[in-house]
Amino acid sequence: MSDQGAAGSARVSGLDLHLIRGGGGARAGLMDAFREAIRSGRLLPGTRLPSSRALAADLGVGRNTVVRTYSELVNEGWLTARHGSGTEVSQRGVESVRARPRLRAAQALRRPVHDLRPGCPDLSSFPREEWVRAVKRAVGAAPLDAFGYSDTSGRVELREALARYLARARGLRTQADNIIVCSGAAEGLRLVAAALAAAGVKAVAVEEFGLPAQRRTLEKAGLAAPAIPIDTDGADIAVLDGRPNVGAVLLTPSHQFPLGVALHPDRRAAVVEWARRRGSVIIEDDYDGEFRYDRAPVGALQGLDPEHVIFLGTASKSLAPGLRLGWLVVPDHLVDAVARQKGETEETVGFVNQLAMADFIESGAYDRHIRAMRSQYGRRRHQLVEAVKQHSPASSVGGVPAGLHVLLEQAGRLTSADGRQAAWKRLAVEPLDLFRHPESRSVRDGLVAGFATPSPSAWSGALEALVRQLP
């Protein structure tokens, strides 16, 4: 604590206490400082306070001053003192915090009754025990340099593990030197966009339906983001030949988001040929490529031409977005340019999660988890399709059996029907329009519903609530 108008910290018996003392005598100033800290919510109900002796020593005031301050604040209801338990902030004395339950109640009213957001995994199935074991092994065996400033491209242990895994499971052709670890797909795309803009690229074509945040990332880097149409065979690659200003294209070839189609083999070959002919690059967002339910997952486009494809992957769908783990696989001629966008001192993902992820992959735990979730999600998608057929025969479920979401369509009735918009919000499903590019001429209308997010115990109720709303 400090003198008038200034902030300070009191270090007491292992507890740090920040107070702001106003004018007046020592006791009056101390009481005002406590009231301000409690009223503003900085000291929450139940917060333990230092002993009077320790606080007095750190603040340079008499112990009696602190004792009398505590006593008076107890009498006023700001603090609570219990014999043998010390002094703490009272539940009754916090004026500003009284509004918080109302705020939380309002937030609860806005939360969906069921969570069918597209593109989100079942967090309740996160493999906690195996992850904890991986963390313990990783930290226990970590070299000393891991605790310092890391290579901004990521720990070599993770990059080597990813190179082996991606080659084996996704069909990539790469090595650790081509991999850059990032904090997720959003950061990965930002790095790529900045590198392409710096190299003179003017435009990156995008699919006419996709994540608006990705389009904004490209535009923020100074890149135009024109739309290319999508049909049942995926993105219409042929239109790229008529757009000479386009220097790259962003695709979700394994499972298009949100329409759910896979890029046809002929178009996969065609877009690679376009990139070779034009000296351009393809940004492959492997959105949820591991999750295919009717056959083995489609191999990554990068395997067809590693020098013209930038592969963007993440653990957000396979494990959890909170890990903040993503990776770029970059062609040789672009590795340095993309890595430079992180800067010389910019931090990457924390070394603990990087080393734990490397262990998780190498131990086989990652494969086991993906296979288990693939089975669970596959069952859920099948149940959803069957429930829609039974309860709403006029509705259709679009896309191949893959990913964490489906597209529901019914000649425009799903989103336009009176009273249903509020119902969709309560279920957290999204209208297809949310993902439509401003240049799109498509007349398709529908809903994008996820089936992965609910916990196993909540899934049946969420599914029942969804089909009940279908006309």
Any idea what the CATH number is for the domain that residue 353 is in?
3.40.640.10
Are residues 324 and 184 in contact, defined by beta-carbon separation less than 8 angstroms? Answer: yes
Task: Specify whether 138 is located in the same domain as 265.
Answer: yes
State mean pLDDT over 122-145: 95
Kind and range of the H or E run holding 283: strand 281-285
Task: Specify whether 302 is located in the same domain as 381.
Answer: no
Residue 167's domain comprises 126-363
Task: Specify whether 439 is located in the same domain as 393.
Answer: yes
Final residue of a structural domain among 363, 388, 415: 363
Task: Specify whether 34 is located in the same domain as 180.
Answer: no
Instruction: Output the domain CATH number for residue 55.
Output: 1.10.10.10
Which amino acid type is present at position 230? I
Instruction: Output the domain CATH number for residue 428.
Output: 3.90.1150.10
Alpha carbons 234 and 267: distance in angstroms, whole number = 8
Final residue of a structural domain among 333, 363, 393: 363
Alpha carbons 44 and 26: distance in angstroms, whole number = 24
How many folded domains does the chain comprise?
Answer: 3
In a domain, 104, yes or no: no
In a domain, 277, yes or no: yes
Residue 96's pLDDT band (cuts 50, 70, 90): very low
In a domain, 120, yes or no: no
Task: Specify whether 265 is located in the same domain as 171.
Answer: yes
Final residue of a structural domain among 363, 385, 418: 363
Looking at residue 22, its pLDDT comes to 67
For residue range 24-81, what is the model confidence (pLDDT) as tens digits?
678 888 888 888 888 888 888 988 888 888 888 878 888 998 889 998 888 888 999 8
Strand partners of residue 263: none
Are residues 116 and 449 in contact, defined by beta-carbon separation less than 8 angstroms? Answer: yes
Does the pLDDT at position 109 exceed 80? no
Task: Specify whether 207 is located in the same domain as 320.
Answer: yes
Measure Cα distances from 262 to 54, 440, 467 in Å: 67, 19, 26
Measure Cα distances from 240 to 243, 270, 274 in Å: 5, 10, 8
Task: Specify whether 293 is located in the same domain as 306.
Answer: yes
User: Using CA atoms in the order 127, 131, 133, 135, what is the torsion angle rounded to 10 degrees?
Assistant: -170
Alpha carbons 326 and 312: distance in angstroms, whole number = 8
Q: What is the CA radius of gyration of the chain?
A: 28
Alpha carbons 245 and 127: distance in angstroms, whole number = 46
Q: Is 167 exposed, middle or buried (0-12, 13-18, 19+ CB in 10 A)?
A: middle
Question: Any idea which residue has 């500003």 for tokens?
Answer: 96
With a CB cutoff of 8 Å and minimum separation 6, the contacts of 140 are none
Task: Specify whether 381 is located in the same domain as 353.
Answer: no
Alpha carbons 315 and 183: distance in angstroms, whole number = 10
Strand partners of residue 246: 203
Task: Specify whether 148 is located in the same domain as 272.
Answer: yes
In a domain, 115, yes or no: no
Task: Specify whether 241 is located in the same domain as 344.
Answer: yes
Task: Specify whether 373 is located in the same domain as 335.
Answer: no
State mean pLDDT over 139-146: 93
Q: Is 0.85 surpassed by the pTM of this model?
A: no
With a CB cutoff of 8 Å and minimum separation 6, the contacts of 407 are 258, 259, 260, 397, 398, 399, 432, 446, 447, 448
For residue range 241-295, what is the model confidence (pLDDT) as tens digits?
999 999 999 999 999 999 999 999 999 999 999 999 999 999 999 988 899 999 8
Looking at residue 416, its pLDDT comes to 56
Mean pLDDT of the chain: 88
For residue range 292-315, what is the model confidence (pLDDT) as tens digits?
999 888 899 999 999 999 999 999
Alpha carbons 152 and 344: distance in angstroms, whole number = 7
Kind and range of the H or E run holding 313: strand 309-314
Does the pLDDT at position 367 exceed 80? yes
Task: Specify whether 374 is located in the same domain as 330.
Answer: no
Angle, CA 460 vertex, CA 457 and CA 464 arms, to 5° = 150
